[in-house]
Amino acid sequence: MITLRQAEARTPARERRRRADRVRETIRFAIGFALAAAFLIPIIWMVSGSLKSNEAVTASPPQLLPDGLHWENYAAAVTYIDFGTYITNSAIVTVFTIAGTLLACVPAAYAFAVLRWRGREATFGVVLFSMMLPFPAVMVPMYLIFRQLGMIGSLTPLLVTPFVGQFITPAFSSALAIFLLRQFLAQLPYELIEAAKIDGSSSLRILVQILLPLARPILVTVTIMTALSSWTAFVGPLIFLSDESLNTLSLGLQQYQSQHFTAYNLLLAASTLFVIPVMVLFIAGQKYFTSGATSGAIK
Amino acid sequence: MRTSLRTRGRRRTRGEGRHAVWYLTPWGIGVAWLVVIPSALALYWSFTDFNLFNEPKWVGFDNYANLFADPVFLKSITNTLFMAGVGVAVGTAMGLGSAVLLNRSGTSTTIFRSLIFLPAVVPPVATGIVWTFILNPQYGLLNAGARALGLPPIGWLSDPNFAKYGLLMMVLWGSVGQVMVTFVAALQDVPEDILEAASLDGAGRLRTFVSVVFPILRPVLLYNVVIATLFYFQFFEQAFVVNPTNLGAPAQSTLTYALYLYQQAFTYLKMGNAAAMSVLLLVVSSVVIAVFFAINKRMER
């Protein structure tokens, strides 16, 4: 029991602690705010630059606010380069990459997570290894193989690789997709499958009718990660596409920078247009992005 | 207790093995076609004078010897190791710091976390373009801030002494948020009651962090260090974009290993050298991966 005296003696200390907590919370908020602002500034700078006149973009000292809203930059940006072709190529590559990744990686993950066969763990070691394999280590021989097959100078290398589970970017890869899908499928209750087996369902039927509906969250995560990384991919397209008319938007922007270096505001407008679809996707499915980023780290 | 798919008995049936082959066929073709064969070819070409147009002729270890006698090659290695060292340390520290800071529920912290993560989804090419503007010594935002504080402007991408830091800034801008979310996810696994018990025992914040929280974070820390190390070993995109027509400028201070590999192959058409560099990268990365798995296994015990 607390006597009145003890309670009185404690009050100032508690008061002090509460005040210290409040100060700490305020500092925490201030640092958090400053950090978040610092990370947001480059994006604001890109958008604001895309609305400036070209003189204002390179004004010294920099102008924080645009000199009027030059929306015409956007119209000019998409005609200055072959924006329509580039964005179409990016879209084609992205659609094929998603389709290919799902078609190649879902069955593979199923074989690793659910089916029982000799050498499963050892084979899965290959997945783990290729998850971390640096693309530059294989890009030159890959290029030469595609060249031998006459595929350089077309979109084909980018369209084919996902279907054989070899889509690789620094951010995401088919191997990581297999890994994430396998993790998810492996923790589903086995009774589900046992029961379906007793009912005489084939293994394909178990995958399609029982497991895939349950795996929706991880399928969405993998789809989003694949979409993001193929939309923004740079090294693969740089090496495999040698024809300017085949450029994806990543490459188009980069060439734009090196060739038409005078139109900075248009470059920023084109970059903004490039980022917008990704931002929309991010706002719509933020939890899938973060779960995609964490699921490799957290078991 | 329900059995999960992973923990059930080891009984295997022949039928499932046959099915597994079918399910693994596309991936298996890919591994053979685009991993095994390329690696084998790279190994072979690394011992030849292949230049894309000739019949490869065996030259033994000449390519390797030439590379290690090439100051630019050595420069690309020190550049890469330097950026890996600084980038991994700073990126991990910032990611962990912001995770500890923002490991709260509540609207404001959630928004802060989203904003710090946001750059992770910006395409590297766009990142490179925007940061080229921000880091410019004349009209750049960063130097305007520096000047306001009375500091001299710095050529963050044009001065060989600073270009690596400029490049690191733009990479960290995109990666800190990703490191942060992994640590936040791990921090949520720290059991509330253990923290309470520790504080009742009179353990200070630092003490609690070191002896209770840190062991839970350790696997995630290891994961982030390995992923970041492997990222810098193959660092290419932003480094390419900031100087697309003059790779590695200024004065080869931003020439990464991967950029030099690319130059050897596609600028100089020295496929033998490029193959040798591929092999070296493959070997070094494999060692890093193996060490990672070994440490991971030991910690699980």
Whether residue A197 lies within 8 A of chain B, CB to CB, comes out as: no
Q: In this structure, what token pair is assigned to residue B142?
A: 């960063």
Question: Is A238 within 8 Å of B111 when comparing Cβ atoms?
Answer: no
In the predicted model, is pLDDT for residue A249 greater than 50?
Answer: yes
pLDDT at B19: 85
φ, ψ for residue B48, nearest 5 deg: -125, 170
**What would the DSSP string read from start to end of A143-192?**
HHHHHHTT-TTSSHHHHHGGGGT--B-SS-BHHHHHHHHHHHHHTSBTHH
Question: Is B12 within 8 Å of A118 when comparing Cβ atoms?
Answer: yes
Whether residue A183 lies within 8 A of chain B, CB to CB, comes out as: no
Question: Is A138 within 8 Å of B37 when comparing Cβ atoms?
Answer: no
- Please count the residues of chain B: 301
In the predicted model, is pLDDT for residue A113 greater than 90?
Answer: yes
Q: What burial class does residue B90 get, using C-beta atoms within 10 Å of its C-beta: 0-12 exposed, 13-18 middle, 19+ buried?
A: middle
- Lowest mean pLDDT across A10-19, A163-172, A266-275, B213-222: A10-19
Nearest to A295 by CA among B28, B286, B220: B220
Distance CA A87, CA A28 (A): 42
Average pLDDT taken over every residue of chain B: 89
Contacts of B160 (CB under 8 A, 6+ apart): B250, B251, B253
Longest CA–CA separation in chain B, Å: 75
CB atoms within 10 A of CB A12: 9
pLDDT at A258: 64
pLDDT at B8: 47
In the predicted model, is pLDDT for residue A267 greater than 70?
Answer: yes
In the predicted model, is pLDDT for residue B9 greater than 60?
Answer: no
Cross-strand pairs, B4: A189
Q: Are B42 and A140 in contact (CB under 8 A)?
A: yes
- Sign (positive/negative) of CA torsion B9, B15, B21, B22? negative
Q: In this structure, what token pair is assigned to residue B67?
A: 């590379």
Q: How confident is the model over B276-292, as pLDDT tens digits?
A: 999 999 999 889 888 87
Q: Which residues of A touch B124 (CB under 8 A)?
A: 232, 234, 250
pLDDT at B299: 75
Question: Is A134 within 8 Å of B122 when comparing Cβ atoms?
Answer: no
Question: Is B27 within 8 Å of A164 when comparing Cβ atoms?
Answer: yes
pLDDT class of B211 with cuts at 50, 70, 90: confident
Contacts of B176 (CB under 8 A, 6+ apart): A39, B91, B94, B95, B98, B116
Question: Is B26 within 8 Å of A113 when comparing Cβ atoms?
Answer: no
pLDDT at A145: 92
Residue B15 or residue A229, greater confidence? A229
Cross-strand pairs, A189: B4
CB atoms within 10 A of CB B12: 14
Question: Is A232 within 8 Å of B226 when comparing Cβ atoms?
Answer: no
Distance CA B301, CA A62 (A): 56
Distance from CA of B43 to the nearest CA of A (A): 10
Whether residue A145 lies within 8 A of chain B, CB to CB, comes out as: yes
- Please count the residues of chain A: 299
pLDDT at A75: 93
Distance CA A124, CA B228 (A): 23
pLDDT class of B1 with cuts at 50, 70, 90: very low
Domain positions in chain A: 4-50, 80-297
Question: Is B30 within 8 Å of A166 when comparing Cβ atoms?
Answer: yes
Contacts of B107 (CB under 8 A, 6+ apart): none
Interface size A-B, in CB pairs within 8 Å, comes to: 315
- Would you call B58 helix, strand, or coil by DSSP? strand
Q: In this structure, what token pair is assigned to residue A143?
A: 């290029």
φ, ψ for residue B42, nearest 5 deg: -60, -45
pLDDT at A1: 47
- Would you call B82 helix, strand, or coil by DSSP? helix
Question: Is A143 within 8 Å of B231 when comparing Cβ atoms?
Answer: no
Q: Which amino acid is at B282?
A: L
Q: How confident is the model over A124-172, as pLDDT tens digits?
A: 999 988 888 889 988 999 999 999 999 998 999 999 999 999 998 888 8
Q: How confident is the model over A226-236, as pLDDT tens digits?
A: 999 999 999 99
**What would the mean pLDDT of B17-32 be, rounded to a whole number?**
92
**What would the mean pLDDT of A18-47 be, rounded to a whole number?**
93
Interface test with A, best of B5, B48, B102, B184 (most A CBs within 10 A): B5
In the predicted model, is pLDDT for residue B235 greater than 90?
Answer: yes
In the predicted model, is pLDDT for residue A23 greater than 60?
Answer: yes
- Sign (positive/negative) of CA torsion A249, A224, A105, B127? positive
Question: Is A58 within 8 Å of B185 when comparing Cβ atoms?
Answer: no
Distance CA B192, CA B210 (A): 16
- Neighbour-count burial for A61-74, b at 16+ CB within 10 Å, e otherwise: ebbeebeeebeebb
Q: Which residues of A touch B181 (CB under 8 A)?
A: 290, 293-294
Distance CA A89, CA B204 (A): 57
- Lowest mean pLDDT across A107-111, A193-197, B4-8: B4-8
Q: Which long-range contacts (CB under 8 A, 24 or more apart) does B241-249 make?
A: B241/A234, B241/A254, B241/A257, B241/B124, B241/B125, B241/B127, B241/B128, B241/B129, B242/B128, B242/B131, B242/B132, B242/B157, B242/B166, B242/B167, B242/B170, B243/B157, B244/A254, B244/A255, B244/A257, B244/A258, B245/A258, B248/B76, B249/B163
pLDDT at B280: 96
Q: How confident is the model over B247-282, as pLDDT tens digits?
A: 998 999 999 999 999 999 999 999 999 999 999 999
Q: Write out the H or E segment, with its range, that includes residue A235.
A: helix A235-240
Q: Which residues of B touch A35 (CB under 8 A)?
A: 98, 101, 112, 116
Question: Is A190 within 8 Å of B2 when comparing Cβ atoms?
Answer: yes
In the predicted model, is pLDDT for residue B47 greater than 60?
Answer: yes
- Sign (positive/negative) of CA torsion B15, B17, B19, B22? negative
φ, ψ for residue B4, nearest 5 deg: -95, 165
The beta strand positions in A190-239, using DSSP E, are none
Nearest to B264 by CA among B239, B285, B247, B283: B247
Q: In this structure, what token pair is assigned to residue A97?
A: 């990459």
* A80-297 CATH, one of 1.10.3720.10, 3.30.300.130, 3.40.50.300, 3.40.1380.10: 1.10.3720.10
Q: Which amino acid is at B149?
A: L
Distance CA A259, CA A51 (A): 21
Q: Is A61 left (phi over 0), alpha (psi -120 to 50) or beta?
A: beta
**What would the mean pLDDT of B36-61 be, rounded to a whole number?**
93
Interface test with A, best of B63, B113, B130 (most A CBs within 10 A): B130
Q: How confident is the model over A9-21, as pLDDT tens digits?
A: 557 777 888 888 8
Q: Are B156 and B142 in contact (CB under 8 A)?
A: yes
Q: Which residues of B touch A128 (CB under 8 A)?
A: 293
Q: Which residues of B touch A161 (CB under 8 A)?
A: 30, 34
